[in-house]
Structure 1
Amino acid sequence: MTSVVKCPTCGNDVVWGETSPHRPFCCKRCQLIDLGEWADEDKHIPSNDDLSESDDWSE
């Protein structure tokens, strides 16, 4: 059975299988847009820790 998901960038339908090499994205362009958003820190994983660059990481 083949599943169909929505591309997280543009919302187009994507077949979840070998025929869609960029899944869950519909194409390389949408994949790169998402990567750029992570690189620009527009997207992030929420955390309860409030760490800054000045915090000591050696502990």
Structure 2
Amino acid sequence: MTVVNCPTCAAKVEWTEANTFRPFCSNRCKQIDLGAWAEEKYTIPAANPLDDPLDEDEKKQQH
């Protein structure tokens, strides 16, 4: 049986079909994680955002 850590509280969680909250240990931890997403606490850093390809087409037309 696979055991993982709850992403919210780090409690040990059995990864089984009986655990409807997996990978979380409880509905409370699942809701805390959802709230963090809603408050935009999780971010993915971008070193170099991609240029908009439409902007490149407009620049070519102007020259």
TM-score interval, normalised by the smaller of the two chains: 0.7 to 0.9
Higher relative helix content: 2
* Shift >2 Å, 4+ stretches: 44-50
Task: Determine the structure 1 residue equivalent to 2:6.
Answer: 7
- For normalisation by structure 1, the TM-score amounts to 0.73
Report the RMSD for the aligned CA atoms in angstroms. 1.8
Higher relative strand content: 1
Pairwise CA distance, 1:19: 1.7
Aligned length: 51
Pairwise CA distance, 1:25: 0.2
**2:43 pairs with 1:39:** no
| Structure (1 or 2) with the larger CA radius of gyration | 2
Q: Please give the alpha-carbon distance, in whole angstroms, between the structure 1 residues aligned to 2:46 and 2:37.
A: 15
Give ranges in structure 2 of 5+ residues lacking alignment. 55-63
How many percent identity over aligned positions? 49
